[in-house]
């Protein structure tokens, strides 16, 4: 049988789970098994803190798993200890060989904010098993080095995973609902298809923005943050243009502003006339000029 790659796609914030299973190339862990490890770590941490801090402060708070399933590095470390695998920060002096020649290792775990993924060597070929991707992406040895450098620049935390990786791993019931095995050729087809879809979506987004007067360079197609900022800026410019009408060079106001002022002047003049009429009518009543006549007050009077 040829090479098979196991890949799990992102579900909720279970990227740590997807990362570990991709690392072991089998659906070994479930969210329940990792949650159990997190609970054990929480209990151990609370026990250590009992002498100095009230246990009530820690009773409802976990530092190893969030409510939506994001696990800590301590959980990943403890989980891999079962397979005698060790996680070492890449900037640790012990990991110096990996810093010089990344290809000498077998796996890396990468983390930034609340996202985890792994880079794994399978049958002497490197793959990116990021669960946010449609399928594993092949990396050349040079590509691996360049990619790790880019992650360092972006301030990702990178860990080397060392030890004897098991050839076969036990499969936990219900843990493989997020993943599947595929050949490298199938993974490439899936990624190529996903890339074409992204390109089409990018072109449509470009057309929509160009209709609003925003001209993008090729490098901007995948930069969602920049696109959003430019769209907001365009909207603000349109709003500013509509709200602020400047006078022309001769000092005369534009026709719209002039017309609005004329209408306002007419309204004010009519209001003054009505007020004068009401005032005279009141004076006539007070003088008895309308004596014997029926006089009624409306809401306007």
- b/e 212-222 (16+ beta carbons within 10 angstroms → b): eeeebeeebbe
Active site residue 15: yes
Region of 163 on the Ramachandran plot (φ > 0 left; ψ -120 to 50 alpha; else beta) = left
Active site residue 169: no
Catalytic-labelled residue, pool 15, 19, 110, 118? 15
- b/e 185-199 (16+ beta carbons within 10 angstroms → b): eebeebbeeeeeeee
CA distance 24 to 120: 9
Burial level of 242, CB count in 10 A (0-12/13-18/19+)? Answer: exposed
Active site residue 115: yes
Q: CA-CA-CA-CA torsion for 231, 236, 241, 243, nearest 10 degrees?
A: 150
CB-facing half-sphere around the CA of 300: CA atoms within 13 A: 6
Catalytic-labelled residue, pool 7, 42, 110, 130? 130
Maximum Cα–Cα distance for the chain, whole Å?
116
Catalytic-labelled residue, pool 11, 103, 115, 223? 115
Active-site positions read 15, 115, 130
């Amino acid at each position: 049988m040829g090479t098979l790659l196991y890949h799990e796609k992102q579900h909720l914030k279970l990227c740590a789970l997807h990362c570990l299973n991709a690392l072991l190339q089998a659906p070994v862990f479930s969210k329940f098994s990792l949650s159990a490890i997190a609970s054990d770590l929480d209990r151990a941490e609370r026990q250590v803190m009992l002498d100095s801090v009230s246990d009530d402060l820690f009773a409802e708070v976990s530092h190893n798993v969030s409510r939506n399933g994001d696990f800590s590095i301590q959980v990943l470390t403890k989980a891999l200890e079962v397979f005698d695998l060790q996680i070492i920060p890449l900037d640790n002096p012990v990991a110096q060989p990996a810093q010089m020649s990344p290809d000498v290792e077998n796996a890396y775990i990468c983390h930034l904010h609340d996202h985890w993924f792994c880079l794994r060597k399978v049958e002497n070929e490197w793959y990116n098993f990021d669960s946010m991707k449609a399928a594993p992406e092949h990396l050349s040895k040079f590509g691996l080095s360049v990619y790790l450098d880019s992650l360092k620049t972006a301030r990702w935390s990178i860990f080397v995973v060392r030890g004897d990786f098991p050839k076969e791993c036990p499969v936990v019931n219900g843990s493989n609902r997020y993943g599947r095995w595929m050949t490298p050729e199938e993974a490439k087809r899936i990624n190529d298809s996903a890339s074409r879809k992204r390109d089409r979506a990018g072109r449509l987004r470009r057309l929509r923005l160009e209709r609003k007067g925003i001209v993008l360079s090729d490098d901007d197609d995948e930069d969602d943050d920049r696109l959003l900022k430019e769209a907001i800026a365009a909207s603000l410019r349109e709003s500013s243009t509509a709200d602020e009408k400047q006078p022309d060079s001769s000092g005369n106001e534009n026709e719209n502003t002039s017309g609005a002022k004329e209408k306002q002047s007419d309204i004010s003049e009519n209001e003054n006339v009505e007020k004068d009429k009401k005032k005279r009518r009141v004076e006539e009543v007070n003088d008895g000029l309308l004596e014997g006549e029926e006089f009624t007050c409306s809401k306007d009077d």
